[in-house]
Chains A and B, each alone.
Chain A
Amino acid sequence: MSDTTITPDTPAAPSSPKREFRSLYAIDDLTRKRNAAERRFKAYGIGAILIGLFFLAVLAYSIIKEGIPAFTRTIVEVEFALTQEQFDAAEKELFKTKAYENFFIGALKTQLDESGMDVPFDEAAIERLVGKTGGTIREFFKSNPDQLGKPVEFELAASSRVDGYRNGRVTRETITDSRFLQKSDLDIVDALVEAEVIKTVFNWNFITGADSGVDNPGGAGIGASVVGSFFMMLVVLALSLPIGVAASIYLEEFAPQNRFTDLIEVNISNLAAVPSIVFGILGLAVFIQFMHLPQSAPLVGGLVLTLMTLPTIIISTRASLKAVPPSIRDAALGIGASKMQATFHHVLPLAMPGILTGTILGLAQALGETAPLLLIGMVGFVARGYPDGFIAGFTEPNSAMPAQIYTWAARADFAFYEKAWGGIIVLLVFLLTMNIIAIILRRRFERRW
């Protein structure tokens, strides 16, 4: 039987489709399904972008949350006067620093009594909060005897656990009684905070100081490694800018089409994708094993990073040379300039903003690179001080920011983790500044032809 024979009053066989006549505006099932698939597909895309942005937000949040405490430090501020008699008496004692400590605790007690605090505390608790204070006080009065008898404001660094309590790293729930800190001490801390004896101040030492060694997380600073990074970047800039520009000019303006040029091109595009750690191996084998340059010196780090960033800089420099229209070259050649003159007097100056932008971005990449630095000895080296001179800045062992952060992250004491996050903030501030400079350069000087 065929569809044409079906009359409206005979029921259709179940197998034969019945054509419903509907308006074009009414959406049928298939269209609905396709539209749903369309919406789903679009939602996946939005979801993917949101996931990416979510990770970015989480990353930013945890860097800021964990890193900000590194920029503050907790101090115990006590006004304290020592009379000449007390000084003489203490110097006669067998345990001199202990005597000073007793004076100090006495002074603290009176100061607290005046402010009306009623939490009991003993010497051991004070020692847990601020460490052994006697040495510091004795040191001060021995070198400044004229201060005897006058009230002196002492700013003593609180122990790293008190610091942690103030930053929320240590809480009442997580703390276990130990010889470092006990639960009852937290009451004292609270009371002292109330009395404005314990204060949180900005930690300049973190920005200007040097690394402190394994046992003193509180005193660790990133300053010395910032200097190390700075010298490294000087080397990278001084080498990679001229070499990169020269190489790009050759490849873009002069190179004939031959095997040698092809070889260079292939090498550059492959070097751009070689893992950075391989450059570290190169640095170790060539600069340290073979040439006997000093280990963990910014000079060696700079050389390795130069080789690593050269491909990036060459690629971006070539792009900006290519962007200069050929009419400029033709005009220069037409009035009698040599090819070299046309390139250096006309093409290069016009391409310079783009080249500088690319170079700054290359430097930023080099600044954050860690793995090659580990291999040339910048891990485990404790940068305890600033280099003493301009030349020494290149040749004396130093750390660099990323290497310093890694060193802190690899240490056992949890208090160093905070420093590592803080170091990351400093590093990112530098990177952000460089990127902003690059963007401004591009906006300000880039020419569209």
Chain B
Amino acid sequence: MSLFWLFLIILAIALVGYVLGRARALSSAGGERSALHSLPSYYGANVAMKAAVPAFLLLVIWLLAQPFYVNSEVSGLIPDTEIAEGSSRDLVLAEVRRAARGLENAVRSGAMTEEFASNARADISDVTTRLKEAGQIVTSEISQPILIAAQRYRSLSSIGNFYMSIAVILIAIGGALWGLRETKAEFRARNTVELGMRAILVGAASIAILTTIGIVLSLVFNTAEFFRIYPASDFFFGLTWAPSFSGRGGTSELGIIPLLWGTFYISFVALAVAVPIGLFAAIYLAEYASSRVRSTAKPLLEILAGIPTIVYGLFALLTVGPLLVSVFGDNGIGIMKAGTSVMTAGLVMGVMLIPFVSSLSDDIINAVPQAMRDGSYGLGATKSETVKQVILPAALPGIVGAVLLAASRAIGETMIVVLGAGAAARLSLNPFEAMTTVTAKIVSQLTGDADFASPVALVAFALGMTLFVVTLGLNIVALYIVRKYREQYD
């Protein structure tokens, strides 16, 4: 039975429960609505809730737990001899899962009979060719243990799914009966339902915590795994980044310093573009512009923030890069070799950050009390003198916070650097040379063909961890500064 149908059945049970609960409540009060403690629909909702919520919870837990059980069962069937040199048990298990899925699809499409698919003594080459004919991707010839494991996997999964359906439906019916038993005129149905709803609301709000925990756990476990096979000191202090995909990682040099250098260099260029432009734009919009100019220029600038980063990436790669080459390249000044460089990515990222800096600074400048301006004007200062000597010093903490937020955005930006900065990790001062960043390397390490358990893939998690810690630190400091500043004038 597919999940979809199971889902519908639970919903149907809940719906029937609702109708029955409502009717039962009304009849228990002798059709007198005013004799009920709650509105009739609450009695129905109580039954529906008790039918659906435990059933769905069980369903989710079962779905998460079953693969572990099946994997550990199947894993025992694979002899150590089956695990090839340079491979791992996980990879063989993945192969088993693929084969099992292939068998499943082949049976469903009618290319194989059920008996053939579960026949343990079936001829291997025959199975392989039949799978291929059925359009299933079989990476290598399936060996006998893998086939047996795959068949076991299939049968365990289908048995598991069968029991799951039964258990979930029983729980749903049981819950509905429990709810119906409670249903009497004096039962405080509304309070019960509202308690349940409140639990759901708390659960929804906790997803934010769960997400953070998920991020931290997925980074920490894989990073720990990486540091087990690669020394942490080489990672944090290594000056070369030279992953070797073929050599099982043994010869890879995975030092993060060149990547951090590229990241900070590009972010610096981006901020050097975005901060002056954004700040001056904010000052003009807040202090000088008429309301008509403000109401057109501000949304127009903010369009820049709404454009997806892939668009900026393409803009860097195909427009800005060639443009810079034509000026600084071999036909021009001759210090730029290719279109991808720190300057290309930095400039485009700076454009992206202009509205980010300008609207944050705009808010902050507007929050400076009018009395301070008036005092300054009263002393005979011009507008620009007021801005420079009164408003900016007063708004400085907030503006620093805004710049830090922009910096965190720049460090975490991915698509612009993937397309615009190049792929070579180097430590150089020339901004017209290609360099690469932490984010760009996360993408390239995890989208390559590298084996997932090898250091060249796992290093991406260590990079992600570094990125997460750096941006989180920047954000916390920035938010702290901004909040402190707001309190000052509130």
Contact = CB atoms under 8 A, between A and B. Distances in A.
Interface of A: 34-35, 37-38, 40-42, 44-49, 51-53, 55-56, 58-59, 62-63, 66, 242-244, 246-247, 249-251, 254-255, 263-264, 267-271, 273-279, 281-282, 284-286, 289-292, 307, 310-311, 314, 338-340, 364, 367-371, 374-375, 377, 379-380, 391, 402, 405-406, 409-410, 417, 420-421, 424, 427-428, 431, 435
B177 interface: no
Nearest to B221: A285
A370 B283 contact: no
Interface in B286-316: 287-288, 297, 300-301, 303-304, 306-311, 313-315
B205 A42 contact: no
Interface in B177-230: 190, 194, 197-198, 200-209, 211-212, 214-215, 218-219, 221-222
B447 to A, nearest CB: 5
Contacts of B200: 246
Q: Which 10 A-B pairs have the closest CB atoms?
A: A275-B412, A368-B308, A45-B284, A285-B218, A246-B204, A48-B280, A41-B384, A250-B201, A371-B414, A247-B205
A406 B472 CA distance: 28
Contact of B383 (A38, A270, A291): A38
A48 B277 contact: yes
Contacts of B315: 59, 62-63
Interface string B317-328: 111000000000
Interface string B261-292: 00000000000000011111101110110000
A246 B201 contact: yes
Contacts of A284: 218, 446
B447 A379 contact: yes
B20 interface: no
Given A246-B200, A402-B310, A267 B304 contact: no
12 contacts: A37-B385, A47-B280, A52-B301, A59-B307, A59-B351, A244-B204, A254-B198, A285-B221, A291-B64, A375-B447, A428-B307, A431-B306
A47 to B, nearest CB: 7
A414 B194 CA distance: 61
B360 interface: no
Contacts of A275: 411-414, 439, 467-468, 471
A427 B308 contact: yes
Contact of B278 (A48, A267, A340): A48
A420 B205 contact: no
A292 B211 contact: no
Given A45-B288, A53-B301, A421-B314, 13 more contacts: A37-B384, A49-B285, A52-B277, A55-B354, A58-B319, A62-B315, A244-B204, A271-B211, A281-B460, A314-B208, A374-B418, A405-B314, A406-B415
A42 B319 contact: no
B280 A374 contact: no
B339 interface: no
B67 interface: yes
B49 interface: no
B435 interface: no
B442 A46 contact: no
B467 A278 contact: yes
B89 to A, nearest CB: 14
Contact of A45 (B64, B211, B283): B283
Contacts of A286: 214, 218
A52 to B, nearest CB: 5
Name which of A41, A51, A338, A405 has the most chain B CB atoms within 10 A of its CB.
Answer: A41
B122 interface: no
B179 to A, nearest CB: 19
Contacts of B215: 274, 278-279, 281-282
B464 A277 contact: yes
B405 interface: yes
Given A46-B284, A246-B200, A424-B314, A402 B308 contact: yes
A308 to B, nearest CB: 9
Contacts of A45: 280-281, 283-285, 287-288
Contacts of A307: 207, 211, 214
B138 interface: no
A273 B304 contact: no
Contacts of A273: 405, 408-409, 471-472, 475
B134 to A, nearest CB: 16
Contacts of A59: 304, 307, 311, 315, 351
A430 to B, nearest CB: 10
Interface in B53-86: 64, 67
B11 to A, nearest CB: 15
Contacts of A417: 318
Contacts, number: 257
A292 B97 contact: yes
Contact of A277 (B207, B439, B452): B439
A269 B479 CA distance: 9
A44 B387 CA distance: 13
B434 interface: no
A427 B190 CA distance: 47
Contact of B207 (A247, A254, A338): A247
B464 A289 contact: no
Contacts of A285: 218-219, 221-222, 461
A264 B206 contact: yes
B219 A281 contact: yes
B143 interface: no
B169 interface: no
Contacts of A242: 204
B310 A292 contact: no
B296 to A, nearest CB: 10
Nearest to A45: B284
Contact of A250 (B204, B355, B414): B204
Contact of A370 (B205, B409, B415): B415
A374 B201 contact: no
Contacts of A56: 300-301, 303-304
Contacts of B309: 368-371
B197 A340 contact: yes
A405 B310 contact: yes
Nearest to A284: B446
Q: Which of B309, B315, B414 has the most CB of A within 10 A?
A: B414
A271 B213 CA distance: 11
Contacts of A292: 67, 97
Contacts of A409: 313-314, 317-318, 419
B212 A267 contact: yes
B125 interface: no
B208 A34 contact: no
A249 B439 CA distance: 35
A247 B304 contact: no
Contacts of B166: none
A391 B388 CA distance: 61
B158 interface: no
Contact of B284 (A42, A53, A279, A431): A42
Contacts of A410: 419
A254 B471 contact: no
A278 B358 CA distance: 26
A271 B283 contact: no
Given A281-B442, A310-B208, A371-B439, A51 B201 contact: no
B443 interface: yes
A249 B203 CA distance: 12
